[in-house]
Amino acid sequence: MHPFKLCLTYPFNLKHTALKYFPILLLALLCACGSANKSEETTTGKKETKEAPAYFELRTYTAAPGKLDELLARFRDHTLDFFEQYDMQGMGYWTPIENDQNQLVYLLGFKDKAQRDASWKAFIADEDWGKIYADSRANGPLVSSIENLFLNYTDYSPHIEKGNKGPRIFSMRTYYTNEGKLDNLHTRFRDHTMEIFNNNGMQNVAYFNLDAGQEGAENTLVYFITFPDTAARTQMWDSFSKDENWKEVYANSIKDGRLVDSLTHVLLEPTDFSAIK
């Protein structure tokens, strides 16, 4: 019987000698009903919604020759489950479209650096993971090198939305500014570039600063945008570069010197197990 119904049908004896105790008894029973309901709500087995990450680790794995498929299989079949177990939120997993270096690029999300460090420590110490890792290397290591960067959202960045939004490719772009120009570059993106991207069909995914203390943190911007495919990317960049609004914004922004010294970019496609597609 539901606890609330039980409370309402409790067989009280309302003789005169008990009436003076009735308010106290009723209050106690109502509290008991509330406690029972609360217990029921907390034992439904619903999984708590994870806190949206605010600290990120961008990792690039270069697979050993001929080992990329095995590396992807290890992630698909095992690694992602262990990451989930230790609250390492997989935001996206990609391979370069032109992947002559056999790379896997992925982004993990955490609450903060302390949680990142604790999660990695627990993950590496897990004996079950250790066995899977060892077994996967029986015929040689799968990874020849690892690079990682620690990132925070810029103040104007959208937050990453997981899910499949249909066929699309991702462009990961890294800008290295001239000395003292990073804030100017942020202003240009915040006030103008992102909107002009949208106007020309590009979708903004996320914009990141390097976490303080890393080499280049004072002059580096990393961001992700998407296009439907490579042909659309070519058309959209051409449209963007010819956009009269962009030409004016760009000219005004470099009156005191160019903002960007150099940049790198790589076109990525999501893996079948990526959280964002």
Give residue limits of the domains in the chain.
3-42, 55-270
**pLDDT tens digit string along 220-237?**
999 999 999 999 999 999
Element (H, E) at 259: none
Q: Rounded mean pLDDT of 103-113?
A: 98
pTM of the model: 0.82
Place of tokens 């004996």: 127
Give the three-state DSSP class for 46: coil
Residues 210 and 220 sit within 8 Å (Cβ to Cβ):
yes
**pLDDT tens digit string along 186-197?**
999 999 999 999
Q: CA-CA distance, 137 to 129, in Å (whole number)? A: 12
Sorted by sequence, the CB contacts under 8 Å of residue 32 that are 6+ apart come out as: 3, 7
CATH of 55-270, one of 3.40.50.300, 3.40.640.10, 3.30.70.100, 3.20.20.60: 3.30.70.100
Residue 156 is predicted with a pLDDT of 98
Kindly compute the dihedral angle of the four CA atoms of residues 171, 177, 182, 185, in this order, to the nearest 10 degrees. -60
Q: Rounded mean pLDDT of 173-177?
A: 98
In the predicted model, is pLDDT for residue 37 greater than 60?
A: no
Over its C-alpha atoms, the chain yields an Rg (Å, rounded) of: 27
6 or 72: which leads in pLDDT: 72
Residue 51 is predicted with a pLDDT of 80
Element (H, E) at 64: none
pLDDT band at 198 (very low <50, low <70, confident <90, very high): very high
Residue 153 is predicted with a pLDDT of 98
Q: CA-CA distance, 251 to 156, in Å (whole number)? A: 22
> Dihedrals φ, ψ of 232, to 5°?
-65, -35
Give the three-state DSSP class for 185: helix
Element (H, E) at 132: helix 127-136
Kindly tell me the number of DSSP H helices and DSSP E strands found in the chain: 11, 8
